[in-house]
Every structure is written in C-alpha cells, then in structure tokens.
Amino acid sequence: MEAPYGLRKIEAKLIDSGFDVKTVYPDYIDRFNPKVIGIYVMDPFGWGPSSTTFAGILKTGEPYLAKYFRLLFESSSYKKAKQGGAKTIVGGPGVWQFKLNQEFMDKYGIDCVIDGEGEYGKVLEIFVDALKGEELPRFVNLKPWECPKLEEISEIKNPSINGLIEVGRGCPRGCKFCSVTLRPLRWYSYEKIEKELKINASAGITSGVIHAEDILLYGQKGIIPNEEKVLKLNRLAKMYYKTLSWSHASFAAVAAKPKLIEECSETICDENQSWWGAEMGIETGSVRLAKKIMPAKARPFKAEEWPEVVVQGAGIMKDNHLIPACTLITGLPEETDNDVIKTIELMDELKDFPSLIVPLFFVPMGKLKERDWFKKEQMNDLQKELLIKCLQHDIRWAKEIGKIYFSEGLRDQFIKPLYFLFIKIIEWQGKRQKVLVN
Ligand code: SF4
C-alpha cells in the first residue's frame, strides 16, 4: 500500500525509535486497537490557498478535502478507536489550520497538533507521553531551529504515494510569506536517496517525483545550480523510475542555467515520457512587490528583473518540455492595484506558455504570519480579472496537457474522459457564474 510521504517519514522514524507502528487505511483504524492515532494533513479544511481561490470565484460549497477529512472523524472506525482511549496526534504541512478551528479539535477529540518536522526528539517524547496516557499539549510549535539533523531523518520503509521521495529540506531564498525558508537547508546524499528509490521501485512503482523546494539547487548552499550534481540526481532517479517529475524548481535557476535544463530534458524525456512537471512560484509580476516580499527569488538576477526572469524561464521550459504548475499570490499585505495590474500584464506575456497558473489568496505564514488573511469578500475587480485570466489560461492548457498526459494504456483510456469531463464542468460552472465568456 502506498501512503503519503510525510506519513511514511514519521512511520520510519517511529519504527527506528522502537515504536510499534502501523499505517492503515482510515476505515480500519479500530481493528488495531491503537493507543495513539497519528494523522497527516495537507489541507484539512480546504483552506489551503489553491483550494479556496477557485472555490471563491466559482462559489462551490464545502471543499472536497474538508468534507472527506470530516468524514474520517465521523467514521465508526475512528469513533470506536477513540472509545478505546486512543489519543489523536495530528501533524503535516496543513496543521496551521487547526489554530483557526479549535472547535473541530474539541468536537473530534484531537489531543495534540504538531507544527514542525516530526523526526525532532521533542515529537518522539510526545508519542511516548501519549502511549502512557498522559495529557498532551494542545499545540506544539517547533521553532525553525528545532529540526532533525540529516542523520536523524530515517529513510522510508514502505512505498510512498506518487513514488515521491525527498532529496532535501529547506530553501535559501528567504521569501517573507514562506515558512520553509526559516528552517536550515539540508540535502540528502545520493545513497540516502537511492535507498528510498529502491523501496518504491521494489513495490512496483515505476513513476515518481523527487521532492525539494528547488531541485535545481540540489547539493548547493547558495542559489547557483551545480550541473553535475543535478544531472547525477536525475540519472539516479531515472534508473528506478520510468517516468520522473520534480516537485518544485525555480524560474531563476532555470533562467540562470538554460543548458542544464536542456541536459535534464535529455536525461528525463525518453521513450517513456515526453515532458516532465514541476511546481514553480511566480507569485507576482510587480517588481515593487517582489523587492519587498521576495528579494532573493530572482537571484542570481536582480529583483528588478523578476518579470523578465519569469518570461525567460518560461521560454526555456517550453523549448525543453518542462511543463510547470505555477502559483501567483494576490491579497499580499501592501499589494496595490498597480501591483495587480503588473501581474495581469505578466499573465498576458505568459499566455502561450504551456503551464497551469494557480492564483492563491494570501495566507499569513513565515515572517508575515501575524498579518491578516485575505478573504474572497475583499477581492476587487482587478483581482477578479487576474483570477479569471488564470482560469482561462488553465482551461486552455489543461486541455492541451491532457492530450499528452494520458497514455494509450487501458487505465488511462478510462480516466481520460473523466479528466476532460472535469474540465468541462469547470468551464460550465465558470460560464454559469459569468466569469468565463461563451
Ligand atoms: S523560493 Fe519557494 S520555498 Fe523558497 S522561500 Fe521562496 S516560497 Fe519558500
């Protein structure tokens, strides 16, 4: 069985620390009579920027993610396990949402929410206390420096969803709205990475994702990619996976090393895949805002060059079959109408760039965590125009990407019509809400 990578990571650390751990399908929790239930969350209430933004303009109801997360706690399996006295501990990148929904914790008996890297010693102590039946702290917020050293991070012991494996943690760019950047930068050795690749490959996984905040900075302390290290990493992953993608990379690193992207394309694209994907942050088209909130995002170029870096990076990616899913943020503190106009202008320049561009509402995190949330009710006409532009761009490119994404295999031939039906529904909903024209 494949499980989320974050869950596999904490499972591995607990096993290595002598705990008896089972990762189970939510409906089977009670069968194991657990003393502690550990739950991993990405976006438990559908408040993650990507869930809320399109839902905001399309006026859909309770987010899908929120509904199924709630149903987990309402399942007879969870209820029975709780009646048996199990403590519930929640971790994962979406835990910030619980601070704003403590009634949910009370309602469903969530004892402890941990924000930080789970391999840290303090987290293991909480699991020990939970096993002893002691009262747990409601919230544990690990400081940025309270994180495991490389050698304290266990390798996964069981396969991960999407064949995802991490190759490093942390990011040197220091964007103010991001919490990742506060933690130290650590890169895994090739040996450590290979052990995890082998776990997935031996479970029959042939398609996978290598994860870091910027794959192109693999092995580096700074912001200049090292060609040799990046190519070696990709060759290693391709030894185990027929098809490979990257979790994240940066426009700046792409623009800084076009030759490297060409070589990565030659390494990754073959008879099994004609393109590969990555998630990339554009965030804004405004130089003024970029200088304020993400001054190092463009490096080694100047922050003043940010929009050109994005356009140049887009051209390099298009030439080399790297199709990214990009993010934009609107509603950032101090964002002016002129900043939104600059982002809309950048969107115009990117209209022929094969990509998905997802607009996100500002969520207070990182150094901006004390600032106010941006709510959809605050959206002005310019911000709506930006969102609509993104939606139009995404519908056009989702159709194109769909044509090359699905193989001739039986499974894909079954899923393909559903994928196109999904796009049609979004299009229909967009027209109904009068945000898309016929
Ligand atoms: S580049 Fe990405 S991961 Fe790095 S600090 Fe900025 S937003 Fe965070």
Residue nearest to atom 8 of ligand 1 (CA): 178
**Predicted local confidence at residue 55, as pLDDT:** 63
Percent of the chain with pLDDT over 90: 77
CA of 282 to the centre of ligand 1 (A): 10
Residue 110: closest CA among 128, 136, 89: 89
Nearest to 339 by CA among 347, 330, 348: 330
Mean of all residue pLDDT scores within the chain: 92
**233 has pLDDT over 70:** yes
pLDDT one-digit tens code per residue, 257-313: 999 999 999 999 999 999 999 999 999 999 999 999 999 999 999 999 999 999 999
* Stronger pLDDT, 247 or 411, i.e. the higher one: 247
Name the architecture of domain 160-405: Alpha-Beta Horseshoe (3.80)
Contact 205, 243 (CB under 8 A): no
Phi, psi of 86 (to 5 degrees): -65, 140
> How far apart are the C-alpha atoms of 264 and 321, rounded to whole Å?
10
Mutation choice for ligand 1 from 166, 169, 177, 181, CB with most ligand atoms inside 8 A: 181
Q: Which residues contact 115 (CB under 8 A, 6 or more apart)?
A: 91, 95, 96, 139, 140, 141, 142
Cβ neighbours of residue 3 closer than 8 Å, sequence gap 6 or more: 11, 23, 158, 159, 160, 161
pLDDT at 223 over 90: yes
In the reported structure, the alpha carbon of residue 180 is separated from the centroid of ligand 1 by a whole-number distance in angstroms of 7
What helix, strand, coil percent values describe the chain, rounded to 5? 50, 15, 35
pLDDT digits (tens, 9 = 90+) for 75-114: 999 999 999 999 999 999 999 999 989 999 999 999 999 9
Domains of the chain, by residue range, sit at 5-141, 160-405
Q: Radius of gyration (Cα) for the chain, nearest Å?
A: 22
Spatial contact of 320 and 313, defined as CB atoms under 8 Å apart: no
pTM: 0.92
* Per-residue model confidence as pLDDT tens digits over 394-422: 999 999 888 888 766 777 788 888 888 88
The whole-number average pLDDT for the span 222-244 is 97
Provide the percentage of residues in the chain whose pLDDT is more than 70.
96
Q: What is the pLDDT of residue 229?
A: 98
Ligand 1 pocket: which residues have CB below 6 Å? 171, 173-175, 178, 180-181, 213, 250, 281, 294, 297
CA 270 / ligand 1 centre spacing (Å): 30
**Dihedral sign computed on CA atoms, order 233, 235, 241, 246:** positive
Average pLDDT over residues 122-144: 95
How many angstroms is it from 428 CA to the middle of ligand 1? 35
What's the CATH number for 5-141? 3.40.50
Q: Which residue among 169, 171, 216 has the greatest number of ligand 1 atoms within 8 angstroms of its CB, and so is best to mutate?
A: 171
Cα(179) to centroid of ligand 1, in Å?
Answer: 8
Question: Angle formed by the axes of helices 381-405 and 49-58, to 10°?
Answer: 110
